[in-house]
Structure 1
Amino acid sequence: MNIYHYTDLNAVHSILDTHKIRMTDIRFLNDKTEFLKGIEILRDASEDIFSGEEDYSPGFIAAVTMWLPKIFEELENFQYPDEVLYVASFSRSEDTLSQWRSYGMFAVGLNEDILFDELHFNKIDYIECHYVIDPGDAIEIAENLLHEKALQVLNQRWLEDDPTNQNPMLSIDLKEIISLLATTFKHACFSEEEEIRIVKRADPEAEAIKFRAKNNLLIPFFELELSPEVFTSIRIGPLDNQKLVEHTLDIYVAHRQAKLMSQEINVEYQMVVESSEIPYRTL
């Protein structure tokens, strides 16, 4: 199955030439507002998170109850630079007008299975988004995520006898998990995007972090290098002269394939160039 990265033609060219996807510091994306909304939902869900629960150690419950207020306060304020998240977005929807209008008139298709394996190898999280239609449902989803992805996992690592004081370190892991879960909540109006996010935690001072200029800001980003066979198709949005655009991309794809073969890179697929079925209209 394919997933799609909507963007412009310059980015398509760069991605397919370098096999790299940019992951941007979430603090410099519109997603920051959604991240904070996710934190709010998770905070509300955590208020009675242990109510009626009998599977957790009493000591663990007491510690987590003490940790959570500080964790949420720190995440809301992006206090610690070691908690910076780098994000890239993809969609299961291959031909959506709102995506074309918002992100660009081209999309790169990626093989989801191969991508997932490479993300796992690079310790990058692969996250399905949840769309907040009903606040009550969102809190229920958040409660389930907190139990399944955080509390049950950390409770198994809790030491009843802790002579070396290892238990407090679990608060760091809890904070990291909550920060990841917060990126999964989106407003219901974006539900047709069927978004998937990949998320990397990194020190902003790491050598791998690069910067690009935009609107008088230097935006930090991380380049994720993938194998050529991850990329399977190019989809063209509802453009004028769509057939001509398709022809030029066919030429580029043939050139790319020959280049990969000359480098003895074993790419056993033929990249597909296809066009949107949405009709082009001028205003």
Structure 2
Amino acid sequence: MSLYHYTDLEAVYSILKNNKLWLTDIRYLNDSQELHDGIAFLIEGMKTPSPDVFANFEYYEKAREYIIDSLTGLKTYGVSEDPLFLFSLSSEADCLSQWRAYGAYAIEFDKEILTSEVSKLLDCLYLDPQKNEKARLHARDAITAISNDMAKNNGCLGVDALEAVISLSYDAATFKHSGFSEEKESRIVLPSNNSEYPSNVKYRPRGDVLIPYIEVPITLDCIKSITVGPVQNQAMSYASMSEFVHSIERIWQVDSGNIEYELTVKKSVIPFRA
């Protein structure tokens, strides 16, 4: 199965040249409601979690309050010890709404290979019943884990509690408003302190804001093709991209020893000119 990342020319060049993905701090994405929808569902799930007899009821309410405070803080700007970073993909190939929203190029990834190279590749949920059910179940699991962790640590928070909150933050990052359902999005989601990728937060300017991001290494084996979108000079863009991709392909064949590796270039067939 393939997943597609719609983006601009600069990002395509960087990914192919450096073999790294840039995961953006979720608080600084273009959608101003990122996290808000997911957090609202999770907090609601905290009000009526599925019961669990294994929770420690001495610390039950304290655990629930801690989770709600953590989720509320996740969506605010400011200094954060554990910001959440993500990279968006779609299962839709050559999609007009994606071209209009995100850029003139699409990188096709092999989902199986990409999943083996990154820690968390998650599918987004759009339907409210699905989000409600998952929120209630995960609220139950988080309260159980944190209440037991507090009991074990004399009311203090340990590793289990922190991991439970991070797990909920993944949910918040993948609960999206139903209005975005046509994007059919999957996301690579990581905290900056993920043990596999030591904290390496960098910044890039966008208008008047410095956007935090982290770099995650990949191999070119997970990239199958580049599609040139419906741009004004598509023929010229296609020609130059084909030459560049051919040189990248040859270098990777030598460096990786995978002489059968093939990276193709395609044109969008949508009769729309940006």
Task: Indicate the TM-score class for this superposition, using the shorter chain for normalisation.
Answer: 0.7 to 0.9
User: Which residues of 2 match residues 98-137 of structure 1 at below 5 A?
Assistant: 98-119=97-118, 124-132=119-127, 134=128
SS across alignment from 1:81: coil
1:256 alignment counterpart: 248
2:19 alignment counterpart: 19
Q: Cα distance, 1:248 vs. partner? A: 2.2
Q: Answer yes or no: is the 8 Å Cα contact 2:23–2:215 preserved in 1.
A: yes
1:232 alignment counterpart: 224
- 1:5 has 2:5 as partner: yes
Q: With structure 2 as the length reference, what TM-score do the two structures score?
A: 0.85
* Residues matched between the structures, number: 267
Q: Cα distance, 1:64 vs. partner? A: 3.8
SS across alignment from 1:197: strand
* Structure 1 residues 27 and 243: alpha-carbon distance in aligned structure 2, compared to 1, 3 A threshold: same
User: Which residues of 2 match residues 1-283 of structure 1 at below 5 A?
Assistant: 1-31=1-31, 33-50=33-50, 53=51, 55-59=52-56, 61-78=57-74, 81-119=80-118, 124-132=119-127, 134=128, 138-147=131-140, 150=142, 154=145, 158=148, 162=152, 165=154, 168-169=157-158, 170-203=160-193, 208-266=200-258, 268-281=260-273
Q: Cα distance, 1:93 vs. partner? A: 0.7
Q: What do you get for the CA RMSD once the two structures are aligned?
A: 2.8
Distance in 1 separating the partners of 2:106 and 2:124: 19
Q: Which amino acid aligns with 1:57?
A: F
Q: Answer yes or no: is the 8 Å Cα contact 2:43–2:71 preserved in 1.
A: no
Q: Which amino acid aligns with 2:53?
A: Y
Q: Answer yes or no: is the 8 Å Cα contact 2:21–2:217 preserved in 1.
A: yes
Q: Cα distance, 1:84 vs. partner? A: 0.8
* Structure 1 residues 72 and 252: alpha-carbon distance in aligned structure 2, compared to 1, 3 A threshold: same
Distance in 2 separating the partners of 1:83 and 1:159: 20
Q: Which range moves more in the overlay, 138-147 or 37-46?
A: 138-147
Q: Cα distance, 1:201 vs. partner? A: 0.8
The C-alpha deviation readout for 1:229-261, integer Å capped at 9, x for no partner, is 111100121123433322222212211122223
Q: Which range moves more in the overlay, 237-246 or 187-196?
A: 237-246
Q: Which runs of 5+ in 2 are unaligned?
A: none
Q: Cα distance, 1:74 vs. partner? A: 3.0
Q: Answer yes or no: is the 8 Å Cα contact 2:91–2:184 preserved in 1.
A: yes
The C-alpha deviation readout for 1:208-235, integer Å capped at 9, x for no partner, is 2111111122211101110121111001
The C-alpha deviation readout for 1:32-84, integer Å capped at 9, x for no partner, is 6220221111111121113xx3x53252x553432122322233224772221
Distance in 1 separating the partners of 2:235 and 2:5: 21
Structure 1 vs Structure 2: percent identity of aligned residues? 31
Q: Answer yes or no: is the 8 Å Cα contact 1:125–1:199 preserved in 2.
A: yes
* Structure 1 residues 267 and 88: alpha-carbon distance in aligned structure 2, compared to 1, 3 A threshold: farther
Q: With structure 1 as the length reference, what TM-score do the two structures score?
A: 0.83
